[in-house]
Amino acid sequence: MNEKDFIKSEKDSFGKVYVDINYAIDNIKPFIDNETLKQRKYYIKLPVLDKYLKLIETSEEQNKNKGVFGFLKKDDSLDLVKNYKSQNSEALMQLENCSKCACLNCNLTCNFNSCLGCRKNSFIAQCDHEKLNITHHNSYYLNLTNNKTGLSERYSVLATLQDCAEDKQYIIIQNMKNADEKFILYYYPGLSEDTYGEITDAEEFDYIAAAYEAI
């Protein structure tokens, strides 16, 4: 990808994220208090995106003004864009996820963990605003002992679910060496270590499985 295409791609992609998030803030601001608003990750991280877009615009303008002999002129604006993105990659990635999150335009007061329980590179894919929400994760992996083999194996986390009515959390994982091997477990987040438990109630298991498959 050449410089011009890179700048256009970044401007289009993150420009949309910026518009979506600002639109959401304008929508919910009249209905929630400042303390709640400040708990929204996209609100506190938005200045990072604002600066990134300004760097992109500067680079775009300098590229337009190069003229026929632009290749003779030194232009470090693209390096500034790429360096800034590299240094703030986690925040920018989170803002991309926030723009897809079910919490983005929500102004309800709820009992879910919401932003306070959000892992990096994740977003709430679905929420019924009362009982259950489902969070999708990218690049979230676990090393767990397979009870069948007794060996430590690596699993990809497909989703976590929170049932605030029953005060329970669940995790759905997939064996990275065997895609057909999936598990639904109780999920107990801890300060230093998370733990997991087997679901023995068939009806409860089916309910969580159906909720995940429905999204």
Which residue among 36, 68, 98 closes a domain? 98
Which pLDDT belongs to residue 147?
80
Type of residue at 79: D
Residue 175 belongs to some domain of the structure: yes
Residue 208 belongs to some domain of the structure: yes
Q: What is the 3-state secondary structure (H, E, C) of 134-198?
A: EEEECCCEEEEECCCCCCEEEEEEEEEEEECCCCEEEEEEEECCCCCCEEEEEEECCCCCCEEEE
Residue 131 belongs to some domain of the structure: yes
Same domain, 81 and 162: no
Per-residue pLDDT of the chain (215 residues), as tens digits, is: 788 899 999 999 999 999 999 999 999 999 999 999 999 999 999 999 999 999 999 999 987 776 555 544 556 889 999 999 999 999 999 999 999 999 999 998 888 998 988 998 999 999 999 999 999 999 999 999 888 788 899 999 999 999 999 999 999 999 999 999 999 999 999 988 999 999 999 999 999 999 999 98
Which pLDDT belongs to residue 67?
58
Which residue among 98, 127, 153 closes a domain? 98
Rounded distance between C-alpha atoms, residue 127 and residue 139, angstroms: 22
Which pLDDT belongs to residue 154?
97
Residue 86 belongs to some domain of the structure: yes
Residue 191 belongs to some domain of the structure: yes
Which pLDDT belongs to residue 74?
58
- Quote the domain boundaries for residue 77: 3-98
Two tokens, residue 199: 């679901």
Two tokens, residue 21: 């998030």
Which residue among 63, 98, 133 closes a domain? 98
Number of domains in the chain: 2
Rounded distance between C-alpha atoms, residue 119 and residue 136, angstroms: 10
What global pTM score does this model have?
Answer: 0.87
